Structure 1
Amino acid sequence: MGKYHMSNRPNREIKSEEQIIELLEKGKYVTISLCKDSQPYIVTLSYGYDKDTNSLYMHCAKNGLKLDFIRANAKACDTVIEDGGYIYNECGHWYKSLVLWGEISILTNTDEKRKGMEIILNHLETDNDFIKKKLDSDIKLYQDLVVLKYVINEIHGKSGR
């Protein structure tokens, strides 16, 4: 991906790293764009953000279209959006959005899966002890669980209103 610039609306660009991280930490879902054999596919998943590795973690079923696409091409482009709603009688919209470029891997190591699930649960849940205890009580649950790690290589943000 070449250097991206906002030629039409440079005043809407989110340049602050703090604002970008805040949006990633507040967000609950990411829409992922994948491509395999020139065919596009898009899917929305909940996620957990890990600031230390600048990565998103997601979990999904053991089989499915998204895994076929990821195995064929790990590169992805994603969006995280904070939607403040349409502004009536102004033909406007309040929003903040991020476009992310990076690569997704399917974790196979149980310890990595555990770390990924902990990041997801800490990001999404207010009281995650029940779910953590359930997962930790049976190691087979991790063996059957698919955890994805999306390493972010580039981020661009934009806001409106």
Structure 2
Amino acid sequence: MRRIEKAITDKKTITELLNKGRYITIAMSKDDIPYVITLSYGYDNSRDALYFHCANEGQKIDYIKYSSQVCGTIIEDNGYNEDCVQAFRSLVIRGRISLVDAIQEKRHAFDVLLNHLEKDPSIMKKKHFGNDKNYIKTCILRLDITEITGKEEKAD
């Protein structure tokens, strides 16, 4: 990072941003062709991983099968002021993404996702996850984080 004074190095702040964020934009590459997609996520602090749910096939899955290495960014927009300053906090996350097959981990992943994204996760759990059928047919991805860097611009 060129402007080291803007770096977020405190683990507590990084964890706060991971817990507060709802979307991550992930970059992938296959045969020198880039692909970027924005996904909602759930952060699993105990595993230092992000979980996603998606369709079982498509471009994203093709890219992941080609290369599991990904890079993503989470941004907290804190406003633009009259001095042409955009206040923000952001994270750049590197890691390996994989498909989750085990039902037990899929259950865990949906708990993480729903607890992270929903105000009342019990409503969605009752509506969609009364049995294993929906767990089996839904694709779950896990991004195991290997590196995080953070940056902050304050609007003083």
- TM-score band, normalised by shorter chain: over 0.9
User: CA offsets per residue over residues 84-137 of structure 1, 9 Å max, x none?
Assistant: 12222x111000000000000111111111110110001111101121123332
In structure 1, stretches of 5+ residues that fail to align are 1-5
Matched residue SS, 1:137: coil
Q: Percent identity?
A: 43
Runs of 4+ in 1 over 2 A off after TM superposition: none
Residue of 117, 124, 127 corresponding to 1:124? 117
Q: How does 1:1-161 map to 2 (within 5 A)?
A: 6=1, 8-88=2-82, 90-161=83-154
Counterpart residue identity of residue 153, structure 1: T
Give the drift of 1:138.
2.9
For residue 62 of structure 2, what is the amino acid of its counterpart? Answer: D
Deviations 1:38-97 (A, max 9, x none): 110000000000111100001011221101100110000000110112222x11100000
- Equivalents in 2 of 1:132, 1:125: separation in Å? 10
The TM-score, its normalising length taken from structure 2, stands at: 0.95
Unaligned runs of 5+ in 2: none
How many residue pairs align between the two structures?
A: 154
State the distance in 2 between where 1:94 and 1:87 align: 8
AA matched with 2:84:
C
State the secondary structure of the residue aligned to 2:47. Answer: coil
CA separation in 2, counterparts of 1:142 and 1:135? Answer: 9
